[in-house]
Amino acid sequence: MTAEVAGPAESSVMEQRAVDRSLRTARERARERLERIILAAYDLIGETGGTDFTLQDVAARAGVSLRTFYQYFDGRDDLLLAVFAHGVETTVPVIAGAVARHRSPVRRLQAFIETSFHLVFDEELPQSRPLTHYHLRLTQTDPEALGRILAPRNEILLRILRDGVRTGAFRKDIPLDQLAVMLAQTLLAMMHTNVLGTQLVGTRMEMSHIWRFCLAAVAARA
């Protein structure tokens, strides 16, 4: 009894499946290493309170060689950008979930603002202060990259404001895109001030005061 030999077409399919499996495994391993490197840098930022650690420290913490590190990142700036993006990305679903629990545009806006602030001011996240410093640096060195990173969060805010304008809860005398930019920039300035302790009046702004200020800024005029 002789074994059946696969024909050309069947052999081609089997080879393609093997290649696909190999590529899928390689992609998964590459993604896992990338995540390890980013999380290692994130942990080191929290432990050191800054970004002065060496890339060798990051590689060692991630369990990869320095050569492997450079297969994923060009250097420190590239790594820090990825870490910052990771930090923002993890907040987006949390903010979106908090907003989705409300129907009123006013309550959705309140959920957006309060959740955003609580995520930044979480005392269990020592990365907040150094990453805030990095955020400010990005506004000068790479504003386009910063805009791309913040876009998903800003899109949530834009949708809330659009619904509020449509229902008459929010003002219509300022173009929607400009209203969203002004509110987003105001919120960022307030968060930076509180995190970095640069208050002009010497005291941290209270969340309830921030919310009332923002609501007054966007509420429809009588």
Cα dihedral sign, 66-67-69-75: positive
What is the total count of domains within the chain? 2
The last residue of one of the domains, among 73, 97, 115, is 73
Q: How far apart are CA 55 and CA 69, in angstroms?
A: 8
Average pLDDT over residues 10-19: 61
Q: Is residue 2 part of a domain?
A: no
Q: For residues 205 and 209, give the distance between their C-alpha atoms in angstroms, rounded to a whole number.
A: 7
Residue 170 and residue 98 share a domain: yes
Could you give the angle at the alpha carbon of 136 between the alpha carbons of 115 and 132, nearest 5°? 45
Does residue 55 sit in the same domain as residue 68?
yes
| Domain co-membership, 199 together with 91 | yes
For the stretch 101-143, pLDDT in tens is: 999 999 999 999 999 988 876 656 788 788 888 888 898 999 9
Q: Has residue 199 got a pLDDT over 70? A: no
**Is 1 among the domain residues?**
no
pLDDT at 59: 96
3-state secondary structure 110-166: HHHHHHHHHHHCCCCCCCHHHHHHHHHHHHHHCHHHHHHHHHHHHHHHHHHHHHHHH
In whole angstroms, give the CA distance from residue 203 to residue 28.
48
Residue 195 located in a structural domain: yes
Is residue 5 in some structural domain?
no
Q: Residue 7: is its pLDDT beyond 60?
A: no
Whether residue 170 lies inside any domain: the answer is yes
Residues 6+ apart with CB under 8 A from 96: 156
- Asked whether residue 66 falls in the same domain as residue 24, the answer is yes
Do 171 and 195 fall within a single domain?
yes
Q: Do 63 and 139 sit in the same domain of this protein?
A: no
Same domain, yes or no: 144 and 40: no
Report the CATH number at residue 118.
1.10.357.10
* Total Cβ atoms within 10 A of residue 28: 10
Query: What is the rounded distance in angstroms from the CA atom of residue 192 to the CA atom of residue 87?
Result: 15
Is the pLDDT reported for residue 2 higher than 80? Answer: no
**What average pLDDT does the segment 9-17 reach?**
62
- CATH (domain of 44): 1.10.10
Same structural domain for residues 69 and 91? no
Cα separation of 121 and 57, whole Å?
Answer: 27
Domain that residue 146 falls in = 75-222
Q: What is the pTM of this model?
A: 0.80
